[in-house]
Structure 1
């Protein structure tokens, strides 16, 4: 029998090439087709998230009239969502970084969709006005708790599956779902409310959320896991040739002490807080503003127009940010430029609305103010992936927890100001000041460079 001679060097080289090909096929990042599928899926999820979140602001006038709530009580109902939303931001980021956002998102979506569907029935559990109010507030808190997992989980997924040069556009497209969802509620929700009552938008959006969760779970997440299992089995015969750098990345704990000593981290929190203050005041009180100041105006117009113009601004800002970075501009400059448009633009249009009186001019000013908010998606909102890419979910959770605080503070204060002063100019004026303050802090101390490894 002839002796078989094996050239070890040639064999080793061929096996390493094979391993490289297999790693490329598994892919640390999404392929082009995978990214398109996930972007569409996550964008639709964000749409359903915001559709469920904005039903109550849309229906608050009709609901408060039927249930006998005053402005302060209405403000309590609107702001109570953010009490719960604040609680789970950090937990959502931590769990997503540890076990995967693809596991966290469907579970949370199932819960907030069911709560949305049953909210009208919960309001009728008691004939006592105050007990009914407490039940609705509790349901809104629960809705916020469940929705608090979404953005940190989404951020964790994108930071691990999209390279740095494409994150701005990817995140902006996914985040633009918030405006699509608000648009869906403002258009379809307004029609359903006018024809069938304020309860039907809750039923419709609740069912849409459950449908998205099932499609996401069985069409994208299950397929991705099956692919990972196949790739793992394919890699099994050649474990000894893998070096330490080929092994799965170990997930280290978040260096919080180091982060809290960095001015860039605090600038992130302050800037996001100030943006969220303006955005949530607009999101929660715009329907009431137009109902009170222009009672003959069509709800499907003022509930739709601001969010229609925001979609191209959100996606366009992401494209512009990636284009600027690929053209040689620093990430720090791009993030500060986008945030300047967001905060200063919002402050400017909220300020000049005090000097307008016609319906058309007010609608244009508020639409442009909301459109400027879209640039935030390519500024601070994607910044956690710049400063701490390995811990983006956890950092985003802390940032969004700070951003949720003005949701209950700012919205409640706006309702109290309206109840005591009857002045919308006072509400918009103090919101402009908050935006300018956030811009100053972020421009001075913010950065797009990595601050922790």
Structure 2
């Protein structure tokens, strides 16, 4: 076995065993496996009898070109071995790999069949996408259940806004603490604790509503306290597990899971509510959280360098261009230091504007369709679900487009500003046009446009946090998230009061559009993708 490696994190390896007979056709005499330095990598099995000189030449060409070679036939290799008198005439095979892909293995007697080894960072990403889906689904079940709950307990529109915002009270506190803990102890443990607590709080919500109003608000605040650690933990894990050239796509996929949580919960909750009641709906989503938790604790590590299953090639790809940081137990910077830089404020204000609009639509969309267009709960759920489904797709498109532009040589700062501008100007225009919607279908189309374009913010300020403060990404994300949560509390409660006083949603939607426009200007003036905090 020989392994060649290059600074570009590609590795080329080959495995060879000779057959004693040069006259017989080449055959695979033993299983050909992936070496320890190549797990999780894309392999091309090259059968046949290449000479040692020929194999070395092919390996060098693969490293220089960065492309995986195609297969050579055994008979050609046999003839070359005979002609040159090399010992490779009856070679079992040569095996080459590239770090960017998926591992394969050719077993004895299974020519052409390959076993796929999924890269470890892909497993982390899939688990994050699932938990972000649960994170949002557990929020939305309350947005749907609040309609029958309000009818049962006689809640006014203003009190409805207080109930809807109560989970944000805990969320406000835990975002900064969760980010600091994720940077210090790792996102895996912090996120696991968060999921356990918020799943328990989800299960207890209908019991609390039946017990007393104060108990309901306390349980929802506990729910928010636990969910506040999700985004900072995700930000820390994505920075550690993904190279810069893949990070926007990774965020896009994670956030696609987050937005699909809206779709799943908006569609499933009315069905579950009508089938097994309010208690059953909350119990169902709580159980999913505990199932995810059991898989997360067994299969994921905080840092790729701690993973027992990651290949050296994949680890080199992840670590390329990063500082050699071990961030656990590192000292957090003074809060005043982080708040002294305008690039940090551009991310903070962007998060505030984003959360303002996002939580208005998340919390009030079913109520909006029922109040303005007099549709029933199931119809309102369908109209509410479609925009979030499209948002999941557009978020991935934004991430992939961002990565493509960066790989093509575009300035990272310009890419971040472009994505953020799309993410704010598009929703602002759509919300202003909502006043002209005469049917629920037209309103759903405009909300779909608003939410799908707002997902471009994921490739804007959301990633910008990791650009300017890689060592403190979780902590800074927690600060921006807390500011955004305060903004969401004001907007969620404010919508209820505006509707009660003015009898219309449109005034508040116009205010939201104005905030989008103003923040876009500030972000484009002061944002940068250069590292600011060291």
TM > 0.5 between the two?
Answer: yes
Q: Which residue number corresponds to residue 447 of structure 2?
A: 366
Distance 1:391 1:24 in 2: 31
Q: Give the direction of change, closer, same or farther, for the CA distance of 1:226–1:452 in structure 2 (3 Å limit).
A: closer
**Equivalent of residue 117 in structure 1, options 203, 211, 215:** 203
Distance 2:533 2:397 in 1: 29
Q: Which residue number corresponds to residue 141 of structure 1?
A: 221
**Equivalent of residue 407 in structure 1, options 485, 488, 499:** 488
Matched, 1:352 2:433: yes
Q: Which residue number corresponds to residue 264 of structure 1?
A: 343
Q: Give the direction of change, closer, same or farther, for the CA distance of 1:262–1:227 in structure 2 (3 Å limit).
A: closer
Q: Give the direction of change, closer, same or farther, for the CA distance of 1:225–1:188 in structure 2 (3 Å limit).
A: farther
Please tell me whether the aligned partners of residues 276 and 403 of structure 1 are also in contact (alpha carbons under 8 angstroms): yes
Unaligned runs of 5+ in 1: 1-16, 126-131, 232-244
Q: Which residue number corresponds to residue 148 of structure 2?
A: 62
- Aligned-residue offset at 1:260: 2.0
Distance 2:303 2:432 in 1: 49
- Aligned-residue offset at 1:451: 0.8
Q: Which residue number corresponds to residue 284 of structure 1?
A: 363
- Aligned-residue offset at 1:161: 1.9
- Aligned-residue offset at 1:223: 12
SS in 1 for 2:300: helix
For each residue in 1:355-380, what CA deviation from the matched residue of structure 2 results, as whole angstroms up to 9, or x when unmatched? 12112111101111111121111111
- Aligned-residue offset at 1:254: 2.3
Q: Give the direction of change, closer, same or farther, for the CA distance of 1:395–1:24 in structure 2 (3 Å limit).
A: farther
- Aligned-residue offset at 1:122: 1.5
5 Å-filtered alignment, 1:43-122, equals 43-122=129-208
5 Å-filtered alignment, 1:160-179, equals 160-179=240-259
Q: Which residue number corresponds to residue 418 of structure 1?
A: 499
Q: Give the direction of change, closer, same or farther, for the CA distance of 1:74–1:320 in structure 2 (3 Å limit).
A: same
- Aligned-residue offset at 1:299: 3.1
Structure 1 or 2: larger helix share? 1
- Aligned-residue offset at 1:158: 1.1
**Equivalent of residue 183 in structure 1, options 236, 257, 263:** 263
Q: Which residue number corresponds to residue 155 of structure 1?
A: 235
SS in 2 for 1:134: helix
SS in 2 for 1:450: coil
Distance 1:249 1:288 in 2: 44
Matched, 1:213 2:213: no
- Aligned-residue offset at 1:292: 1.2
- Aligned-residue offset at 1:309: 0.8
Distance 2:100 2:479 in 1: 26
Q: Give the direction of change, closer, same or farther, for the CA distance of 1:408–1:447 in structure 2 (3 Å limit).
A: same
Distance 2:295 2:237 in 1: 18
Unaligned runs of 5+ in 2: 1-6, 12-34, 41-98, 103-118, 312-322
SS in 2 for 1:54: helix
Q: Give the direction of change, closer, same or farther, for the CA distance of 1:287–1:150 in structure 2 (3 Å limit).
A: same
* Larger relative contact order, structure 1 or 2 (CA cutoff 8 Å, min sep 6): 1
- Aligned-residue offset at 1:181: 0.7
Q: Which residue number corresponds to residue 40 of structure 1?
A: 126
Distance 1:341 1:318 in 2: 13
Please tell me whether the aligned partners of residues 188 and 302 of structure 2 are also in contact (alpha carbons under 8 angstroms): no
- Aligned-residue offset at 1:249: 6.4
The structure number with the bigger radius of gyration is 2
Distance 1:392 1:317 in 2: 21
**Equivalent of residue 324 in structure 1, options 405, 417, 441:** 405
For each residue in 1:286-335, what CA deviation from the matched residue of structure 2 results, as whole angstroms up to 9, or x when unmatched? 00001112223513421321111111100000000000111111111111
RMSD: 2.8
Please tell me whether the aligned partners of residues 249 and 399 of structure 2 are also in contact (alpha carbons under 8 angstroms): yes
Q: Give the direction of change, closer, same or farther, for the CA distance of 1:174–1:309 in structure 2 (3 Å limit).
A: same
Please tell me whether the aligned partners of residues 310 and 371 of structure 1 are also in contact (alpha carbons under 8 angstroms): yes
Please tell me whether the aligned partners of residues 352 and 488 of structure 2 are also in contact (alpha carbons under 8 angstroms): no
Distance 2:164 2:302 in 1: 36
Please tell me whether the aligned partners of residues 171 and 227 of structure 2 are also in contact (alpha carbons under 8 angstroms): yes
